Amino acid sequence: MQSLAGKVAVITGAGSGIGRALAQLLAREGCDLALADINSDTLHSTALELRQQGAKVSCHTLDVADRAATYAFADDVLAQHGSAYLIINNAGVAVSQSIAELSFSDFEWIMGINFWGVVHGTQAFLPHLLQNNAGHIVNISSIFGIISLPSQGAYNASKFAVRGFTEALRQELCNSQVQACCVHPGGIKTNIARAARFYRGIDGQQDADRAAAKFDKYARTTPEQAALAILAGIKAKRPRILIGKDAHLIDWIQRLFPAAYPKLLARLL
C-alpha cells in the first residue's frame, strides 16, 4: 500500500479508546483527520492534542445511528478536506443481558450504533471511494463477531452483522482498487465495559462493577497496540485483522471445535 501521508482518514468513535489511538497514530503517519464522536468533550480534547502536534483535524459531533446526520457528516468531510481515503467505522457500545430479558430499546440502541453505524459510514463514503477507485474501509467488529457467549446476544448480533456485511462488501469490491477489511479485537483496555448497559453478566451475576473488574483482568491489549495492529493490517491489505493473543487463541479454538467451543471457553473464563 502506498504511503498514507497526505491522505484523509475518517474515524468515528475518535474521542477515546481505539479510535483515539488510531487518530494519534495516523497523525504521525501524516494523515489529515476527520474525527467524529458523540461525546464532543473527548472529541475536541483529542483534536486539540493533535492540532498542537501540527496535524490538520476537523471535528464532527455525530451519532452514527442517525443516517441523515452521517450523510451530512460525509458531505462536511468532503467539503472541508476535498477527499476521503481511509474510512474507519469504529464507534461502538455494549449491552450485557440475557436474551429472555433483553429489552427492544436496548437491542435497537446497540444495533443502531454497532451495525447501522457501520452501514451508514460505509454507504455515505463508498460512492466517493468508488469514483476515485481508491481507498480503504475498515469496519470494527469484535472477537464476539466470531464466537458467542451468554448475556452477549445483542452484542454478538451486532458484531456478527458487521462481519457478514464487511465480507460481502469486500467481495463486491474485488474488481476495484477500494479495499475493505473487518477487525476483530479481543479484550482491549478501554472503557467499553464500564460504559455498557449492564444487567447480567456471562456467569449470570448482576454486579456491574464486578463484571467490569473481570473484563479489566482479561483485557491485556492497549488501544495503542490495537491501533498498530490495525495500521499494519491496512498496509498489508489483510481482509481480516485479529487483535490480541486472546483473539487469536479464541479464533483457533472456534475453528477446531465449532460446536464444542462454548464449553471450552467456559472453562477458560
* Residue 195 and residue 94 in contact, taking contact as beta carbons nearer than 8 Å: yes
Whether 71 is catalytic is no
From the candidates 71, 85, 155, 199, give the one annotated as an active-site residue: 155
Residue written as grid cell 498496509: 235
Q: Is 144 helix (H, G, I), strand (E, B) or coil?
A: helix
Burial of residue 221 (CB within 10 Å: 0-12, 13-18, 19+) is buried
Helix, strand, coil % over all residues of the chain, rounded to 5: 50, 15, 30
Quote the cell numbers at residue 139: 469496519
Q: Is 91 helix (H, G, I), strand (E, B) or coil?
A: coil
* Catalytic center residues: 155
